[in-house]
Amino acid sequence: MMETIIWVGFSQSLFAGILISAKKKPQVQDRILAAWLFLLALEFLSCAFDFIFWQIPLLSSSFLLFNPAFFLYVKSLTKPDFKLKYLQLLHLVPFFIFEITAYILQERSNLHDFFVPDSTKWFRFSFAIASGISWTVYNYISTVMVTRHRKKLENEFSTIENSKSLKWLLFIVIIYNLYCGLAVILGVILISVPDAKLNMYIFNYSALLVVIYILGFYGLRQQKIFNPPSNESAVKDKYQNSILSEERKLFIKKQVINYVEKKKVFLNPDINMNSLSENLDIPKHQITEVLNSELGKNFFRFINEYRVEEVKKLLADPKNNYSIEAIGYECGFNSKSVFFTVFKNITGQTPLQFRNRINQA
């Protein structure tokens, strides 16, 4: 069974890496994910060679690969100005050091012998400490980045699809943490109970195979989230450190409201903070500040309140024969689930309840 898992993992990670690297106009996050999958394929291949030459895997450094690779991938998706630099490859140095050293020492992955006082005990302890630090630091930073990103979205976009919210990455974080917790428990059992019959190799590589399927499926569909305006540069906006006066806030408030109401830009499902900022020639952070401080709303709420009002007009129109879903799409929503959720959050009713109440009046 272990051999089957190894070769399926190798072929799947290699195939997924090729597919993602062959995407039309691949972005920086695609290159990172493809490289990550190719390295995972190499990890499965090295495990196959371990069984051929030693009949047991050598001490694997997959933790030291997964943690920094996941961190870099998350950062490439959540940071609009992220650029891949050679210096960032230093994150993978511990992985290569322990991987190569394991082959030099021929250190086999056997938890029963973990505390045996032999010439390589120092290596096993160093590996355990490095893996623990890597998991704690990278997992914490990656989780924080995804969480902050999800909060930031409502100040950037009026419509938030699953590819923008990165729910699947949060799912991986949860699965990965559960796996790590279970792996620690099983490891303690194997170390404490010499006669325990637990196959950690099958458990570890099966979990890794599941993650590869998830990465391949969602990574192939994942698109770039942020598209900075064409006139942005690396230099900080000249207004970045300014404190808006009351007159300036009032001016921005009027400009934004007049533009949105007259142009009815909320009917465009793709309207976002970048396009609004460019069309008004007002820095994004100033619009965000005014929306939050003067109107008490983020961009998502501000735009969707206009959409809901437009929906209510159409639902109340007796001459309108469109379905509720069609009305939602007509008013700027590009997802039925988002439309229903936003409408109920704002009005306290579902669109159908609102229509029925209007018809009974």
pLDDT band at 238 (very low <50, low <70, confident <90, very high): very low
- Interval 266-270 mean pLDDT: 91
Same domain assignment for residues 161 and 287:
no
- Do 204 and 268 sit in the same domain of this protein? no
- Same domain (yes/no): 259, 217: no
Within a domain: 236: no
Look at residues 221, 236, 260 and tell me which one is the last residue of a structural domain. Answer: 221
Range of the domain at 274: 246-360
Percent of the chain residues topping a pLDDT of 90 = 34
The reported pTM is: 0.71
**252 and 215 within one domain:** no
Helix axes 246-263, 273-280, angle to 10 degrees: 110
CA distances from 84 to 3, 166, 217, 282 (A): 35, 20, 23, 30
For position 159, which CATH number holds? 1.20.1070
Question: Domain check: are 207 and 307 in the same one?
Answer: no
Given pLDDT bands bounded at 50, 70 and 90, which one contains residue 163? low
Residue 191 shares a structural domain with residue 302: no
Residue 256 is part of a domain; what is its CATH number? 1.10.10.60
- Average pLDDT rounded to a whole number, residues 74-103: 88
pLDDT confidence of residue 230: 43
Residues in the chain: 361
Mean pLDDT score, 308-326: 89
In a domain, 20, yes or no: yes
Q: What is the pLDDT of residue 228?
A: 52
User: How far, in Å, CA of 117 to CA of 129, rounded?
Assistant: 17
H or E segment to which residue 261 belongs: helix 246-263
Helix 62-78 to helix 167-192 angle, to the nearest 10 degrees? 160
Determine the average pLDDT of the residues in 231-238: 41
More confidently predicted of 290 and 2? 290
Instruction: Select from 221, 255, 288 the last residue of a domain.
Output: 221
Q: Does any domain span residue 93? A: yes
Q: Are residues 211 and 255 in the same domain?
A: no
Give a yes or no: residue 231 inside a domain.
Answer: no
Query: Which residues, at least 6 apart from 177, have a Cβ–Cβ distance to it below 8 Å?
Result: 139
User: Does residue 239 lie in a domain region?
Assistant: no
The answer to the question of residue 131 being in a domain is yes
Same domain (yes/no): 285, 349: yes
Task: Tell me if 266 sits within 8 A of 310, measured CB to CB.
Answer: yes
Are the C-beta atoms of 46 and 94 separated by less than 8 Å? no
Kindly state whether residues 39 and 171 are assigned to the same domain.
yes
Q: Quickly tell me which residue has 């997964």 as its tokens.
A: 66
The per-residue pLDDT for 161 is: 67
Whole-angstrom distance, CA of residue 215 vs CA of residue 121: 35
Residue 240 lies in a domain: no
**pLDDT score of 166:** 79
- Tell me, yes or no, whether 50 and 169 share the same domain: yes
Token readout for 345 is: 């959050």
User: How many other CB atoms are there within 10 angstroms of residue 219's CB atom?
Assistant: 23
Residue 230 included in any domain: no
Do residues 59 and 109 both lie within one domain? yes
Q: According to DSSP H, which parts of 55-153 are helical?
A: 62-78, 93-105, 121-152
Tell me the pLDDT band of 108, cut-offs 50, 70 and 90.
confident
pLDDT at 256: 93
Residue bearing the bigger pLDDT, 179 or 111: 179
Count CB-CB contacts under 10 A for residue 85: 8
Number of domain units in the chain: 2
Structure tokens at 240: 């970045």
Average pLDDT, the chain: 85
Domain shared by 295 and 331, yes or no: yes
